Each structure stands twice: as C-alpha cells, then as structure tokens.
Amino acid sequence: MLDICGHQANDFQVTDEFWKKINSSARSFYKPGKYVTFPGYEWSGNTPLGGDRNIYFLNEKGEISRSCEDLIPDGKTKYKSSPNATELFKNLSAQKAPSFAFAHVGGRYADMKYHDKNIEVAVEIHSAWGTFEWLLHDAFDRGYRVGICANSDGHQCRPGASYPGRSLFGSYGGLTCVLSSKLDRKNIAKAMMARHFYATTGNRSLIYLYVVSSTGGKACMGDVLYEPDRGARLNAVIEGTAPLERVDVFNGKKLIRTLFPYTMTDLGSRIKIMFSGAEKKGRARHVVWDGSMKIIRNTIQQISAVNYWNPENTPHMTSKNNIIWESITTGGESGMILALGKPERGIIEIETLHKSLNAI
C-alpha cells in the first residue's frame, strides 16, 4: 500500500495530449487524507546536459518543458523546451504552478553540477536500476543541502512492489517515507522542501531521528541545527521489517560509528557472504556474480538468500558441502546467510567470474 505516487514518463515521449491525460488522471485519483498524487514527468536530458530529473507539480497547472521533441509527432508542441538542466530550473522557477525535483539515476544519471536549491530537494540513491550512494557524495562534495529519496522506476506499473525480473534492472524498487502532518499535496510538498523524508530499498522500515543540542534545541530529520559546543546528541528509533543487522552513522561521507544490536555469540554458526558493486554509473552497470562455493571440514545446514529477486537464480546446494548460484548487482548487494554444522571450523572456497577466495 502506498500513500503517495507520482507519474514520471520520459519527457520526449509525452505529447501535449498525453500531458493533459497525465494531469487529468492525477486530479481524478487525488483524494486528500487518503491518497496523494502529483502530476509530473521525467526530464530526460543526457548526462552532459544535466541528466535525468524527476519533476513534480503541486497542481494541474504545470507546464511540461522537454529536453527534446525528437519523438513528438512533427515536433509540434505549445510548451517551451529546456535543452539543459539550467534552463529547466529557470523554466520551473518562472511557472505559476509550484514544483519540486529529484536528481535521478536511470539510464542518464544526473550531473550534480546542475542544481537549484529552491527546487531540487533530493537525490535518488536507490531504484529498480540499483543503488547509487555516489550521487549523494557528489552532492556533498559540492556543499549541497539535500534530502535522500528512493523510488520504483520499475517500468512494470507496480509502484510499491517493483520486482526487477530478468531484465537489466537489478534491484527491488525503493520507497520514500515522508514525515508529513497531513496527507495532502500542500503538506507533503512542505515536508519535501524541509527534507523531512528518508529512503528505503523497498522495505517498510519506520525511522524517527532527531538531534538535541547542548542548549536544549531539537531538530527533526532534515532540519538545520547550529551547535556551538559540539555537544549535540543524535537519537534514533528504528523499527525494521526484520531483525536489524547494524546501524551505520555518517558525518557527511565519513563513517563515524557502527552499532550492532547483537553479540558474536548470538550469531551461533551462521556466516554471511555478500557481493556488491556496479560496472559504471550509466546503463549496463550490472555485475555478474555467478559462482560456486565449497565448504571443507564442515557442512552446510541451511541457506537463506539475500536480495535474490528472481526465484530461479537463488543459491542452492548440490551437496552438504557445495553451493551454486546466479546473481547480478547494480550498485546494491546480494548474497547468502549460511548455517554451518559447526561454528568457527573449516575452509570456504569461493569461485566467481571476478575473483577466487579462500577463507578459514
């Protein structure tokens, strides 16, 4: 179940007539207090021109501004084009309909050199395309103050249940949780502009995060709090959809602390083996991790697959000592949790297309 949804067709495929259809559909499905829709589109410029941006309007009076009209019949349109992201932000700023935007990573990833702090509220770090924390780092390196979002972009019309199948999409679609006082466009947009939201890789985790300063000031997720004495305390309440493995705390790009809600004794005879990475930032980013594993002087009692979205490719045992699998990653990670016959005993031999590994 979703509370909020936006339609994001590639701009160069949206005719003027279809733009009317997008707006009329968004209007008909918008039910304040029950379900919120935002009319919008994906500005689909190539990366050197700014890269993909997701545009959302607060009402049906917004005007589409395409990166090009190459696929529009006869190139006929009444709307002004934006050949690069600078022109796009300028065009959006001049419109009567308020809007906000996300820096998007799909086939044409966003170049963070282009940015408007009054419109671009977030960077997208996860979708069915994969995981892209590097985009957030690009924003941090430029000193931007942005929120973090995740979306589906699965092309299968299953928002909130965006499984990748066997295509080039390598991940389960993401979700953005918005901390809004009311379920309507005005308050959702207000929360977006204040960065009161967070991203997940598709699970429905609940997170309440706030900071208390040494002088008693309190800031919610996304707020700005000035702390002269470096005595601020970070507080977080996290409820996952499964037991939590760890919580990493970052200051910008720097990992400053990792919290584990368990001890080594709690793990028993279980070990976790994961693969991750991407070949490139743009298309064809998937990394193939097909491989096998052999356990020497121990036995495998059980396998739990992690992030294997195609049931035909999950790891399976060929014997009590051997496993084979097929897997790809597109910036995220996949792998398995093994329950061994005896803890801390034996040798693991792993063979993949990229690397061989022996571990004791």
Question: Which domains does the chain possess?
Answer: 4-205+240-259 (3.20.20), 267-359 (no CATH)
Q: How far apart, in whole angstroms, are the C-alpha atoms of residue 148 and residue 207?
A: 14
Q: Is 359's pLDDT higher than 80?
A: no
158-167, 223-232, 309-318, range with the lowest pLDDT: 158-167
Cα separation, 238 vs 204, in Å, equals 11
pLDDT digits (tens, 9 = 90+) for 321-346: 999 999 899 999 999 999 999 888 88
Q: Strand 99-103 vs strand 120-127: parallel, antiparallel, or unpaired?
A: parallel
Q: Which of 263, 260, 239, 240 is nearest to 249 (CA)?
A: 260
**Tens of pLDDT along 175-230?**
999 999 999 999 999 999 999 999 999 999 999 999 998 888 899 999 998 887 77
Chain segment 23-53, per-residue pLDDT in tens: 999 999 999 999 999 999 999 999 999 999 9
Parallel/antiparallel/unpaired status of strands 147-150 and 120-127: parallel
The alpha carbon of residue 12 and the mean position of all alpha carbons in its chain are separated, in whole angstroms, by 24
- Pair 296, 336: CB distance under 8 Å: no
> How far apart are alpha carbons 71 and 327 in whole angstroms?
35
The pLDDT value given to residue 132: 94
Quickly state the pLDDT bin for 167 (edges 50, 70, 90).
low
Q: 24: part of which helix (H) or strand (E)?
A: helix 16-29
The answer on pLDDT for 115 being more than 80 is yes
Confidence of residue 168 (pLDDT cuts 50, 70, 90): low
